[in-house]
Structure 1
């Protein structure tokens, strides 16, 4: 019996580079382990300003950004907006426990998907797979 895999599935299985930003180091480490277990390369930062500096130097190194919202100096929405000004087609997932974020905010910041804290690991894995599969778009 032949087994066929679609082009989208093959393209997703190729190792992707993901930038993860959260001021809580434990959550960054957890995210890194989850994504590396899925076969991805993960670059992590606990300071959004440091993440932006690296992204500015190498914007095409990354295939996706996952960022927390509440961070000092620059929140995840501001970070996403700056990243999208540099490279508007990169998928950005915003992770937050904040309930005051509106759909207008998400559009203004260029957010492609929102995950509410607390979240399930499968939720992150499914969203990453969906957004990294060619021809898939925002989840919002």
Structure 2
């Protein structure tokens, strides 16, 4: 079972992602801001297989989370999901090491395929 951390301040998005990712294959943890994400990552010793994060959030944004995760000895794959999809933000995410980028509203089948692809690639 793959462990996924969802960092999202929108209340609806975690419900959508939970419906898309089957509980038989994925264990989904949700936090609602960057501060909670750092606390969760540290308390689990960065023990996630994948992180899905928004960009615009309180306390620490998705780019800050991405930078910290990618500086770890075992970097975790990161998918950025955002409705702030201008080209500069997308390029900044990839420069910081994002593995993928999805624009909101997400397409369920696309999220599932991209999650599976990244998890297979990193086994």
TM-score, scaled to structure 2: 0.86
Residue 83 of structure 1 and its aligned partner are, at CA, apart by 1.6
Residue 117 of structure 1 and its aligned partner are, at CA, apart by 1.3
* Structure 2 unaligned regions, length at least 5: none
* Structure 1 unaligned regions, length at least 5: 1-14
CA distance in 2, matches of 1:128, 1:38: 15
Which one of the candidate residues 77, 91, 112 is aligned to 2:99? 112
- 1:82 to 1:135, Cα distance in 2 relative to 1, 3 A: closer
The CA RMSD measured in Å over matched residues stands at 1.9
- 1:42 to 1:87, Cα distance in 2 relative to 1, 3 A: farther
Instruction: State whether residues 78 and 109 of structure 1, in contact with CA within 8 Å, keep that contact through their aligned partners in structure 2.
Output: no
Q: Counterpart of 2:53 in 1: which secondary structure?
A: strand
Which one of the candidate residues 67, 71, 75 is aligned to 2:53? 67
Structure possessing the higher radius of gyration over alpha carbons: 1
TM-score, scaled to structure 1: 0.77
- Paired residues in the alignment total 121
Instruction: State whether residues 67 and 94 of structure 1, in contact with CA within 8 Å, keep that contact through their aligned partners in structure 2.
Output: yes
- 1:102 to 1:34, Cα distance in 2 relative to 1, 3 A: closer
Task: Work out whether 1:125 is the aligned partner of 2:112.
Answer: yes
